[in-house]
Amino acid sequence: MREDFPLIWHEGMQSYILSRYQDVERAFKDPVFTSDNYDWQIEPVHGRTILQMGGREHSVRRALVAPAFRGKELQEKFLPIIERNAAELIDAFRKDGSADLVAQFATWFPINVIVDMLGLPREDHQRFHGWYTSIIDFLGNLSQDPEVNERGLRTRAELAAYMIPVIQERRANPGDDLLSTLCTAEIDGESMSDEDIKSFVSLLLAAGGETTDKAIAGVFRNLLGHPEQLAAVRADRDLIPAAFAETLRFTPPVHMIMRQPSADVTVSGGTIEAGKTVTCLIGAANRDADRYAEPDTFNVLREDLTTVNAFSAAADHLAFALGRHFCVGALLARAEIEVGVNQLLDALPDLALAGDVLPEERGVFTRGPGSLHVIFTPR
Ligand code: HEM
């Protein structure tokens, strides 16, 4: 498709599909492409979030939440939370000699971090993990299993019943946590309503949970599949950001993203009519030979890649998107991966794949290993 049919109309999906790096990059950056169609995709489970917004509504809402996910706030307040949660999860299996890094680490780590960042009770990690699972099952429910749909919608009601009283309590007694920051943030006299905050927390579980979950599993899957690169990263931990960036390029957790042009646009020689859905294939664009040398090779030492760094969230692969919806949590994700990978490498010095079997990746819109069974000397 990328070479011969860079713009196609897919009847089943009722969507145009873009697969070239330069076209997907354009769809993310050019304001003619809006995110309006997320309303019907994610509204039923999250309510209205910044992902569905454009224009000033988006700029203000985004400016209210973004400072909490970077700089001093991230380094001083949230890094200790990230370190503690990684250590606790690893301590629970390091003496066993084997583990499923997806089920026992990756799916829990980002959710536990978000719950602690929000300043919610740590006993509720399990409850939030349940809601997280229901939400991502709902969003990935291509076969429209009614039970999965019903559970997703029930989660929306349960999360609201839990969050609204806590939000009201934090407004009255703000503390030093992310939820209090969201309750008190104000720009030009505008602030977030209780419903806005509840929907943002719901979005964080999916946008901040599933993605980081699949990214950390992906880093280990890719490194375990390339033992010489695992050895290089183990010996030089400064390579972890590159291993993260190369994983996001090679096996991005979010494989496709939808947009809708607000006017007719010409892309790769064809016309996309205003209002039609456009599916942007991040997975394909990230392996475009016009952009990357040897695109189908996983190589943490490749030179044609910019990593997200501590000072700027700029990355030139498309896994975090680009433009106005560029991932708000990119620096948090990087911090989680750095801590998680470092601690796992320290705790499991001879980490290897169980049975030498590389797990398959699963999923269509979001994609990652369904399990990652490893063995190691118990410590
Ligand atoms: C947006 C990917 C981690 C919060 C996005 C988008 C992508 C993405 C592709 C753009 C969606 C679109 O344009 O439609 C990722 C990946 C991550 C990650 C691959 C991990 C490796 C996180 C984390 C958080 C987070 C840790 C926060 C806890 C958000 C939010 C948005 C977003 C709130 C919406 C931004 C907006 O609409 O302005 N992310 N994300 N993400 N991400 Fe992430």
Segment 190-198 shows an average pLDDT of 95
| Cβ–ligand 1 contact at 329 (below 6 Å) | yes
State how far the alpha carbon of 197 is from the alpha carbons of 27, 60, 164, 183, in Å.
28, 14, 9, 7
CATH code, 64 = 1.10.630.10
Atom of ligand 1 nearest to the CA of 35: 14
* Predicted local distance difference test score (pLDDT) of residue 38: 82
pLDDT band at residue 77 using 50, 70 and 90 as cut-offs: very high
Which residue range(s) make up the domain with 224?
7-375
| 2 lies in some domain | no
Quote the ligand 1 centre to 355 CA distance (angstroms).
34
Task: Give the total residue count for the chain.
Answer: 379
Quote the ligand 1 centre to 354 CA distance (angstroms).
32
Q: Work out how many domains the chain is built from and give that number.
A: 1
pLDDT band at residue 89 using 50, 70 and 90 as cut-offs: very high
* Cα distance between residue 131 and residue 128, in whole Å: 5
| Cβ–ligand 1 contact at 322 (below 6 Å) | no
| 1 lies in some domain | no
Which DSSP category does 170 fall into? Answer: H
| Cβ–ligand 1 contact at 204 (below 6 Å) | yes
Tokens of 105: 């680490």
What pTM was computed for the model? 0.96
Tokens of 109: 């780590």
Which stretch of DSSP H or E encloses residue 262?
none
* Cα distance between residue 321 and residue 333, in whole Å: 14
ipTM: 0.99
| Cβ–ligand 1 contact at 208 (below 6 Å) | yes
Read off the amino acid at residue 21.
Y
